[in-house]
Structure 1
């Protein structure tokens, strides 16, 4: 439903540049204390804005975590209600967003914003069409070679026939940044814009252009404390595509090279975002633009013996979330728990835009402005019919299920004290003194699963062997 607003009030609203990366881990930003990676542009956004450091993805029912995760960002609704119902027996791809829910860009458009999309849209074409009135270099795939990017021009009919797709050979991050720059430089309308820029970096293949490809040497890379040659048990998806990017067992030199390549992609992405920011400054609208930076999920890259995002460890479910612009305090880092379904409500709150009634995420706007201490007591995440996670910020419980469909996975739990063990190396689930803690978190997880419409809500969250480490 279109929001009634005067031109005077509309003019008071900020422009929005919403930037979303693919596979950018929550801690892989220099300003967050990671001295191994150079991110001067994102660091400047952290210094001049507010970073929400404890933001988790809702999760996925498919190995291609990007699409369902983005659906949660677009709708502010739990995965089980944001996408068209999925039949786990067929492991259907969770990419199609329900037609009866309003998306973030659609809501901004109805509130008077000019909406424009650039880059990756890993969801259905109909959801893009009802959200954006313009776009450029639209990529409807999960990934591609960064130097061979299949894209569409914006199609006002919303059909996007395959014959209209064409190949671009500019490196993807520069390609999408160029399109964003063109939009900003050419924009003349007398109303604010909502510019959505979705990158495919730092997703593999991780071969950044020079000088970024050679910027990080594997000999200089320090392996994280949770590096392991192999994961200690079957997570249920041990041979998914991402896990095949490195050999088994993981070799230290190979993982160091993967980390070097990953950091090179991130630093190149950072530089390209800098070009978008420079365009806002040249246009004279930087201080009147809300800039949002986030990612669809994180990535293991050797941590816990894993390579991908098909797990619920912090490296894979925790994402960066930075706000910079009007109404956002400078130099603030928040540790309050948040979910990626909270991003849309927060953007709407910062822009004084009414939310759709069906939105279930909670706005971080009051917390950012210092009017509350936080919005969530726990956050939880899902992965297929194999894993569930819940954390209260300090204690974290991961529940693993054995899939009756694929006959993979393990019936067990893990418990981590994130305050004293942020790398999740010391599983306390076998400690009898932690039984009460486990039962408390399990109860929280059960309630969350029921409230979210989880497909596994009838499953027993605590395995029979609680109190002794699972096999």
Structure 2
């Protein structure tokens, strides 16, 4: 009898040990898909009937979409630099700028996102656009192609098209370099890297974290001819916010000398805007096909059931809205991005309208990996909101900035306040009744109280963000 009891106990202990080992091995894999310059409007399933994005639509169908995800902005024209520094460090914009100086000296690297994942046994991998001060091979276990901030461009890609007869530039002409430099389109290069790592990861027991960063759909807007042919120019709409020139472009730091704004002629024409949007859509659809291949590789290798996928972009893009071409502004088309989460216990086809920051992805991955979030990380996990456990935003308001003194923004309670300090211009939008931000209501007397209240909240938010710009003198004039 005693012998039988001993055998049962040993068997139980063995089973428990095996279960614990299995649990240890089966930590979820995490894939982060990161695009560049993709507005929240550039996904078919999120309301844009013009664009073709079946793979992104699939992510919307298979997971939870955060419909109001924002970037904080940036400290210079390369908004992607600040956005990616925030993502890797977990810090808000001005603190991310400070820590970036340390990264360039190989300091504080243990506090980066991939290093934190490694503390829980994750194999970490990166391929694609980097544009962060830390060297990727110093913080990731494995690194594929490391691509520059934007593809090498040529003068032919700017100030165009002048008119219907301006046909020198074609997105598929490889002599203009850009995405074609090196022979293979950069989106395909990143896709191939990712699929190769998935193949190797399928042979291992350890969980993996993949940071897959595409340059697309950032300009130069180049893709194979077959993708451009999918979009008939006659079917491309001119944005409702279209205007030939944005009246505050110069004082807000997004004028004629800004690189992004030089892509199309001044003043903007409807034809130039339509062509740029056509090429933007084509490049996005080509990108979508690469994402499709990555998702299929994941399924083929039997990894999808234990993998969480996060998809977002570093910021949006105007592409002709409000007379602007770039992302150096505080309008939603440039600050708001698509953000989808897919995973084993994530509700399917769910949409969450709560205001979040796109960098919340980093904190979400840490939670999944079992990393205790360090105090220095500003951002918060999205998982509670995605699963319906939480319903309220963890942020009182959304903060926006561009350069030290060019623009500031606060979004709160369905209102947006934009400040251009250099010209002392203040704009106010009622986002509930005017989601496309077409009507500035700052001068309406009945909005004076809301204007002052939001401005006061912005100043408080600046303090939280370590923002050194003093807006109190302008606030005093209200």
Q: TM-score range by the shorter chain?
A: 0.7 to 0.9
Partner residue, 1:104: 113
Written as runs of structure 1 = structure 2, the 5 A alignment for 1:295-444 is 295-374=313-392, 375-384=394-403, 385-402=405-422, 410-444=423-457
Written as runs of structure 1 = structure 2, the 5 A alignment for 1:239-258 is 239=256, 240-258=258-276
**Where in structure 1 are there 5+ consecutive unaligned residues?**
1-5, 87-92, 152-166, 403-409, 467-471
In 2, the alpha carbon distance for the partners of 1:201 and 1:135 equals 19
Instruction: Tell me the CA shift for residue 412 of structure 1.
Output: 1.0
In 2, the alpha carbon distance for the partners of 1:80 and 1:296 equals 16
SS at match of 1:44: helix
RMSD: 2.2
String of CA shifts for 1:173-208, please: whole Å, max 9, x gaps.
111001101111122221111011100000111021
String of CA shifts for 1:32-56, please: whole Å, max 9, x gaps.
1111111111111111101111111
Asked if the contact 1:45–1:322 (Cα under 8 Å) also holds between the matched residues in 2, the reply is yes
Tell me, yes or no, if structure 1 residue 203 matches structure 2 residue 215: no
Asked if the contact 2:310–2:361 (Cα under 8 Å) also holds between the matched residues in 1, the reply is no
Partner residue, 2:462: 449
SS at match of 1:316: helix
Written as runs of structure 1 = structure 2, the 5 A alignment for 1:236-275 is 236-239=253-256, 240-275=258-293
In 2, the alpha carbon distance for the partners of 1:95 and 1:459 equals 31
**From 46, 61, 65, the counterpart of 1:51:** 65
Asked if the contact 1:231–1:306 (Cα under 8 Å) also holds between the matched residues in 2, the reply is yes
**From 128, 134, 137, the counterpart of 1:129:** 137
In 1, the alpha carbon distance for the partners of 2:428 and 2:26 equals 48
Partner residue, 1:156: none
String of CA shifts for 1:81-136, please: whole Å, max 9, x gaps.
122379xxxxxx9995983361222211222100011011101243x234201111
Asked if the contact 1:118–1:180 (Cα under 8 Å) also holds between the matched residues in 2, the reply is yes
Q: Name the stretch that deviates more: 334-343 or 302-311.
A: 334-343
**Where in structure 2 are there 5+ consecutive unaligned residues?**
1-19, 154-170
String of CA shifts for 1:410-446, please: whole Å, max 9, x gaps.
2111000111111111000001111111112112211
TM-score (normalised: structure 1): 0.87
Distance 1:78-1:258 versus aligned 2 partners, 3 A rule: same
In 1, the alpha carbon distance for the partners of 2:187 and 2:123 equals 23
Tell me, yes or no, if structure 1 residue 66 matches structure 2 residue 80: yes
Asked if the contact 2:31–2:309 (Cα under 8 Å) also holds between the matched residues in 1, the reply is yes
SS at match of 1:438: helix
Distance 1:223-1:369 versus aligned 2 partners, 3 A rule: same
Tell me, yes or no, if structure 1 residue 119 matches structure 2 residue 128: yes
In 2, the alpha carbon distance for the partners of 1:393 and 1:314 equals 15
Partner residue, 2:243: 228
Q: Name the stretch that deviates more: 221-230 or 343-352.
A: 343-352
**From 47, 63, 66, the counterpart of 1:33:** 47
In 2, the alpha carbon distance for the partners of 1:85 and 1:304 equals 34
In 1, the alpha carbon distance for the partners of 2:318 and 2:473 equals 25
Written as runs of structure 1 = structure 2, the 5 A alignment for 1:11-22 is 11-22=25-36
In 2, the alpha carbon distance for the partners of 1:107 and 1:326 equals 22
In 1, the alpha carbon distance for the partners of 2:361 and 2:297 equals 25
TM-score (normalised: structure 2): 0.86
Asked if the contact 1:59–1:65 (Cα under 8 Å) also holds between the matched residues in 2, the reply is yes
Instruction: Tell me the CA shift for residue 217 of structure 1.
Output: 2.1
String of CA shifts for 1:203-259, please: whole Å, max 9, x gaps.
111021131122112211111110111102232231200000011110001100001
Q: Name the stretch that deviates more: 346-355 or 318-327.
A: 346-355
In 2, the alpha carbon distance for the partners of 1:95 and 1:327 equals 35
Tell me, yes or no, if structure 1 residue 460 matches structure 2 residue 472: yes
Asked if the contact 1:280–1:286 (Cα under 8 Å) also holds between the matched residues in 2, the reply is yes
Partner residue, 1:139: 147
Asked if the contact 1:139–1:150 (Cα under 8 Å) also holds between the matched residues in 2, the reply is no
Asked if the contact 1:57–1:339 (Cα under 8 Å) also holds between the matched residues in 2, the reply is yes
In 1, the alpha carbon distance for the partners of 2:399 and 2:150 equals 24
Tell me, yes or no, if structure 1 residue 181 matches structure 2 residue 198: no
Distance 1:106-1:308 versus aligned 2 partners, 3 A rule: same
SS at match of 1:84: helix
In 2, the alpha carbon distance for the partners of 1:183 and 1:390 equals 41
In 2, the alpha carbon distance for the partners of 1:220 and 1:311 equals 27
Partner residue, 2:7: none
Asked if the contact 2:264–2:272 (Cα under 8 Å) also holds between the matched residues in 1, the reply is yes
Count of residue pairs brought into register by the alignment: 431
